Chains A and B, each alone.
Chain A
Amino acid sequence: MDAAGITAALVWHAAQFDLSVQDGNDLVTDAVAESDRLMGCWAILPPITGELGIGTGSRGGPFKPQEFFAAMRQHRIAALRAFPEQHRFLFNRAALGAFMDQAAERRIPVLFSVERGTLWPTIYSALREFPNLTCILCDIGTWGQDRHVWPLLETYERVYVETSYLALEAGGIAATVRRFGSDRLLFGTGFPLRYPEASTLALLHADVSEEDKHKIAGGNLHRLIQETRL
């Protein structure tokens, strides 16, 4: 982060995807505790199985989202991640209704990673069911994804796009800003898979105003986190 000029980061752990939500979330919690420049994402599952632990009674009682959100606040966890395809659940009202209703009301961002297998129909379906969800589209893919992303930006005002792959598309950042303004883009690098200098240089030289660059670089995420009510 120091070498690439990055002040702070919202992070997750590969084990949340590859191993288990429980172990991965613990690793994120530990990493965030070691640096005040990091904020974490916890991965989520349908709470009915009790695997989320926090917010679930020891005998498998009803899930209490408020306990889960309080724990997020306590551990500097600023957002949620969902991997419906990899973790074999449906991101819909039957599986996540009360949980995601409260997340939407509290403006807690939920991140979907296309590179990590989340399908566009899943994202479209999730937003149909939870249209007020604060949703961040991450790692959107190596080919230009405007045909997938722009209808969502147009339809749902609380959809945002992380730029690590948008920056890879020639003129992708500028074209999106021309169409939707700069408030909906959040700078991302894809580190450690990708060089942070790549997306940094692409933003620095994007054909947008300095004000737009500042918003994308950090202002927009800062605003989102300030709006969150945990």
Chain B
Amino acid sequence: MLDDCPIYDCHGHMGPFFGAHLPEADPDSAVRMMDRAGVRILVFCHHAALFAPDIGNRANIDAVRRHPDRFRAYCAINPNYPERIDADLASFELYPDVFVGLKLLASYHHVPITDDRYRPAWEFANERGLPVLSHTWGASPFDGPQHVRQCAERYPNAKIIMGHSCHDAWDKAISLVNSYPNVYYELCAVLDNRGMLEKFVEASGSERMLFGTDYPWFDFHYYIGAVFGADITDEDRRNIFYRNAEKLFGFRTEE
């Protein structure tokens, strides 16, 4: 780890999940792994907040409060429980030390991000210029490139982070970033496709590109190694690892 090149991981999760054994999913394990890899801050959304409304965003608050210097959270928005969204947005304002943006997981919640049920969240983010990390996948009927395009036009002040950069619809992801100044690449599940990072940097530069791993799904070192291995410049790497996150989230680093 270089002190003047911290790493901000802008796409993480926390806690167990039905679909896989995640050996390092609790907050303490996450911090231990972050220390080994030189990851200064992990911005995450707890699985419980996304999949268990009876627990909800409380899981995010508890995890951040356990390691307040190392974690920030995205406030989960679950459109299948629209009656809870106002309360979730209220908690965003109640816990400014915890939440730095909103998280949408439409491919799993099976509601398009353009649906009216998301409107309060989008308007909330748009009014405040907040980051919105949305899972995006090329062929998804819920959060594909066409949905991102509509949201980018409707909510020009919201900062739309395309989780997984519209995976597989790479050219459409490029078109979105190049067309809308409020749309960002996020590199989780991009970096295990050799050559894609180079393609994005060549097409769009590296100034709207965020490092993310989906931790505890994927390994910090693996994705850091991919950024090292890509044929890009060290200035690009600094943008990806921390400069862009500093601008978007207000994190601070001494160079």
Contact = CB atoms under 8 A, between A and B. Distances in A.
Q: Do A and B come from one complex?
A: yes
Contacts of B155: none
A207 interface: yes
Contacts of B228: 197, 201
A192 interface: yes
A87 B36 CA distance: 43
Interface residues of A, number: 32
Interface residues of B, number: 31
B23 A205 contact: no
B96 interface: no
Interface in A164-191: 167-172, 174-175, 190-191
A157 B213 CA distance: 33
A205 B32 CA distance: 12
Contacts of B36: 205, 207
Contact of A171 (B19, B29, B223): B29
B192 A198 contact: yes
A194 B192 contact: yes
A156 to B, nearest CB: 19
A193 B191 CA distance: 10
Contacts of A192: 194
Contact of A198 (B20, B33, B223): B223
Contacts of B230: 195
Interface centre among B33, B218, B228, B230 (most CB of A within 10 A): B218
A-B pairs, 5 with minimum CB distance: A197-B229, A201-B225, A171-B24, A175-B23, A195-B229
29 contacts: A142-B218, A145-B20, A167-B221, A167-B222, A168-B219, A168-B222, A170-B23, A170-B213, A170-B216, A170-B218, A175-B23, A175-B24, A193-B194, A194-B192, A194-B193, A194-B226, A195-B229, A197-B228, A197-B229, A198-B192, A198-B226, A199-B222, A200-B225, A201-B221, A201-B224, A201-B225, A202-B219, A202-B225, A205-B36
Interface of B: 19-24, 29, 33, 36-37, 189, 191-194, 213, 215-226, 228-230
